[in-house]
Amino acid sequence: MKFEFELYNTKQRKEMISSNDRLHFRAKASLTAHLRLIARLETIGKVNVPFSPKKPCGVNVTFLAPTKRKYDPPNFYPTIKALIDGMTDAKVWTDDNHEVIKYMKFEHGGLSGGKYYVVIIEIEDI
């Protein structure tokens, strides 16, 4: 099961949160709520039987960047955490703990072809 999100990271429209960002807590909370809503709306109703401790999964996260500039994919974990929480709100899984999501991998997938990041979250049955 695969979900794609187009997220911007410009001065006018910031939707990516890096571990290196020094955002004010209110700005970060607002951005996190926005990302959760995006993920919930995109994934709601797309999973018939939610993943659970009896039906665990693994998550592969692929980033397609807007430029060839070097970056560290795991630094975008705060963005992914907000998206995963939104998917929890949409009942993709019963919870996002270690008994349900057994592993999470991050990788670079190339260029996005636009002025935005593409975040692909692929869920695998275990």
Domain boundaries, the chain: 2-45+55-106+119-125
Give the separation between CA 28 and CA 58, rounded to whole angstroms: 27
Continuous segment of H or E residues that includes residue 2:
strand 2-7
Predicted pLDDT at 12: 84
Give the separation between CA 7 and CA 13, rounded to whole angstroms: 9
* Class in CATH terms, 2-45+55-106+119-125: alpha beta
Tens digits of per-residue pLDDT, 43-53?
A: 999 988 999 99
pTM: 0.94
Residue with tokens 């659970």: 52
Q: What is the mean pLDDT of residues 68-72?
A: 94
pLDDT > 90? residue 10: no
Q: One-letter amino acid identity for 30?
A: S
Q: Report phi then psi at 33, rounded to 5.
A: -65, -40
Q: First vs last Cα of the chain: how many Å apart? A: 13
Give the closest residue to 7 by CA, choosing from 63, 45, 89. Answer: 63
pLDDT > 90? residue 120: yes
